[in-house]
Amino acid sequence: MAALALCRRPETRTIFRVPAYTVSMDTLQLVAVTAREALAECERAAAELESPPEAWRRRWVAIVTLLGTVIDVLKRVDAERGDAALRQAVSDRWDEVKRREPARGAPRPRDIYWGFIDYERTQTVHLFTINAAREAPIRRRVPQVTVIARPGTGGRVFGPIVRKYLTSAMTGGPYKNRKPIDLVAEAITWLRTYLDDVDREAAKARESRGR
């Protein structure tokens, strides 16, 4: 929000960079700022996924909802506030994604957007179907271990040792049996690249228009 407040100042200073292009302060409000705020929340939520089973389900609901919000915010907030270059870049990039959308009623593909980001948000928000679970601790036995204390005193035998491991996995959907945290990381990377592409194309259009 502080960055948006700065946009109202009349001077032009470079404070935000996109690959190969510079966006000055007087055009900062045209960049995908709000969508990037939503993405930052996704990253913070992902860092909290390593939580006990009783809290894990709620955190999962939060993160799949946030992941599905990023592009909506880009289209409905940033594009509406932006200029023609940004709106066109947002529209063009979304059209590319829409071309991969599966037919209504068809199985979802292993596509990080249609098969995970959009699918899991729809399943969670509209159907309250949670396709991921963090299981109770798994108890595993490991072999006995002999420890030699001091020469001449013999050894002490410890074991079998029981160790606890927490596991998590997708329980349904196109990515069944994949680790949820890995899919979240892939989704965040994909969304960041998506926003970078939009900002880059919008900056290119402005640069061309200004020549």
- What percentage of the chain carries pLDDT values higher than 70? 68
Residues 183-209 pLDDT 10s: 999 999 999 999 999 999 999 998 888
CB 146 within 8 A of CB 173: no
Provide the residue type at 172 as one letter. Answer: G
Does the pLDDT value for residue 182 go beyond 50?
yes
Does the pLDDT value for residue 2 go beyond 60?
no
SS3 9: coil
Sequence-ordered list of residues with C-beta below 8 angstroms from that of 3, at least 6 positions apart, any chain:
15, 16, 28, 33
Provide the residue type at 101 as one letter. Answer: E
φ/ψ of 207, rounded to 5, equals: -65, -40
CB atoms within 10 A of CB 84: 12
| Of 94, 167, 93, residue with least CA distance to 136 | 167
Stated pTM of the model: 0.72
Residues 122-151 pLDDT 10s: 999 999 999 998 765 555 555 544 444 444
Provide the residue type at 20 as one letter. Answer: A
Q: Tell me, what's the pLDDT at 166? A: 58
Residues 143-155 pLDDT 10s: 544 444 444 545 4
Q: What is the end-to-end Cα distance of the chain in Å, rounded?
A: 32
Give the up-direction half-sphere exposure of residue 118: CA atoms within 13 A in the CB hemisphere.
15
